[in-house]
Amino acid sequence: MKLAFDIGGVLGKYPTVFLPIISALHDGGAEVFVLTDIPDKQVAQEQLNRYGYSFSPEKILCADFERYGERCKSVIIKEHGIDVLIDDHPGYCADSGCVSLFVWPDPLVPYEAIVKYM
């Protein structure tokens, strides 16, 4: 099973929720990726580290929004055979090509990941 998590409104907003979930998925044998539209992998890695996540660079997948628009994550999902996407963007979930779980971001929790690279 391959799962992909977004950073911005998912991992970045809720590290205390998703850190143990990701750990349990790893322990259970799942392959876990980060799938982001942040164009720079190093920036994505720095954000993940700040939130307490430890992903190797090959598990961080950067979708090309400039080239593919809202289909950018579906291109990566197809290339990597991802089974489940967890994201807070309706367009990415609607056209993922896999099972998509939509996270409703709490507006009271900072949305730091987006501010950092825009």
pLDDT tens digits for 17-75? 999 999 999 999 999 999 999 999 999 999 999 899 999 999 999 999 999 999 999 99
Tens of pLDDT along 60-104?
Answer: 999 999 999 999 999 999 999 999 999 999 999 998 999 999 999
Alpha-carbon dihedral angle through residues 21, 7, 64, 58, given to the nearest 10 degrees? -50
Higher pLDDT, 90 or 116: 90
Q: What is the pLDDT of residue 105?
A: 81
Whole-angstrom distance, CA of residue 4 vs CA of residue 85: 5
C-alpha radius of gyration, the chain, whole number:
13
Q: What is the pLDDT of residue 107?
A: 82
CB 103 within 8 A of CB 67: no
Nearest Cα neighbor of 62 from 25, 84, 37 is 37
Q: What is the pLDDT of residue 112?
A: 63
